[in-house]
Amino acid sequence: MDNWPLYLLLVLAIGIGWWLGRRERLKSLKPVGSNYYQGLSHLLNEMPDRAVTPFVEDLEVTRDTLETHLALGSLLRRRGELEKAVVVHENILATAKLEIDAVLNVQLELARDYLLAGLLDRAESLLMVLIQKSGRVRTESLKLMLEIYEQEKEWQGAIEMGQFLAVGDGTEKYESAISHYYCEMAESLLQHGKLAQSREMIREAIGHDANNARVSLVLGRIELELGNYSDAIRVLRRIYDQDAVYVVESLDMLKLAYSANAAPGSIDGANREVFKQYLLQCLKRTSSISIVLVIAELIEIEQDAEAGAKFIANHLKLNPTVRGLTQLIDLHIDKARGVSRQNLLILQSFAEALIADKAAYRCQRCGFGGTKMRWHCPSCKRWGSIEPIFGLEGE
């Protein structure tokens, strides 16, 4: 400890060296190709929490330094430091004398900050001005406005923005989204018992995307509510041609419609056969265990439980799924006694644990997985990209 003055000097020297080096880096910060963002990122890592404001004030916004300020703003946003990104972008607008195009560009960046920070009102009032402009600024602003309307579930506004965007390369994507906006409105009206208005919305939804299977699911529900069972069946069977992966979503409604005029838990012979043939046809297109289980139920009514179980077992040989296995165990467990019953119970709990909390649906675009069906991917924001998972742990 006798050498403490020496240690103190050494620490001071390191500190001063770091401070000088930092000053030099700040002064010489200019765009230098691919290392530029890396440099900025490095600088931000070293920067204490409150240092952004002095930094943006120190480096005057000129035509030469504008890129640096913009890069810093977008880097901060990417890192989730939204308040700091707002400081950077607001500072540019407040202090710089820029050409009109550059101003619009910075305003767009600021709107992005507000949107991500959840300041929707501020984002909206900026964007309402920007969508009146032209070119890239208008297109990007329309996309951001669309995001706001989606978040706020203001579907009429979303439709309006979507219609502006549904041109050129974006036609298919936005037409499909608009169809889903109408479905959202139709579902909400349906929940409130407004069936005629709901049907109107569905008509619009079909106009924008006739292959949207969700349209048929909503329309099927409307027909069921009205007691139009044969119409419900006709509408729901369209899903086979629209997008057969969603047939599984229609099974409960089809079961209701086909057995509507029969005794509870039953289904009359002619309907049973028609329904079974349709499901067998669907099974050829999508090997879904849910479809197999409904067919097995129909076979059980027609013949007996053993015939139903045999149908499931035959399907599982070719397309093994954990859900099919648990169903098969279920069918055998009642008849089993003693040790074999114990073993089946153990097997059943193993199989159930295997699929518990596993994703049953997956986005075909970004891979997001969830346990319930959603029409809007919460991760990549695409409409109609989530499908049931097929395979060992899924359908």
CA dihedral sign, ordered 328, 333, 339, 340:
negative
Question: CB 385 → Zn ion: shortest distance, Å?
Answer: 5
Structure-token match 């969508």, residue found: 131
Which residue lies nearer to Zn ion by CB, 41 or 364?
Answer: 364
**Mask of contacts with Zn ion, 356-395, x by CB under 5 A?**
-------x-xx-x--------x-xx---------------
For the chain, the farthest-separated pair of C-alpha atoms sits apart, in whole angstroms, at 102
> What CA–CA distances, in Å, run from 26 to 51, 56, 68, 75, 78?
12, 10, 11, 16, 21
Which residue lies nearer to Zn ion by CB, 132 or 371?
Answer: 371
Residue 143 binds Zn ion, judged by CB under 5 A: no
- For residue 315, how far is the Cα from the chain centroid? 32
Question: CB 177 → Zn ion: shortest distance, Å?
Answer: 13
Question: CB 364 → Zn ion: shortest distance, Å?
Answer: 8
> What CA–CA distances, in Å, run from 277 to 261, 274, 298, 309?
20, 5, 11, 18
Q: Which of 125, 59, 133 is closest to 96 using CA atoms? A: 59
Which residue lies nearer to Zn ion by CB, 26 or 366?
Answer: 366
Residue 369's φ and ψ, nearest 5 degrees, are -115, 145
Look up residue 107 and give its DSSP letter. H
Question: CB 344 → Zn ion: shortest distance, Å?
Answer: 39
Size of the site for Zn ion (CB under 5 A): 7
Which residue lies nearer to Zn ion by CB, 199 or 381?
Answer: 381
Which residue lies nearer to Zn ion by CB, 213 or 328?
Answer: 213
Question: CB 370 → Zn ion: shortest distance, Å?
Answer: 10
Q: How far apart, in Å, do the first and last CA atoms of the chain sit? A: 72
**Mask of contacts with Zn ion, 68-107, x by CB under 5 A?**
----------------------------------------
Write out the residues near Zn ion by the rule CB under 5 A.
363, 365-366, 368, 377, 379-380
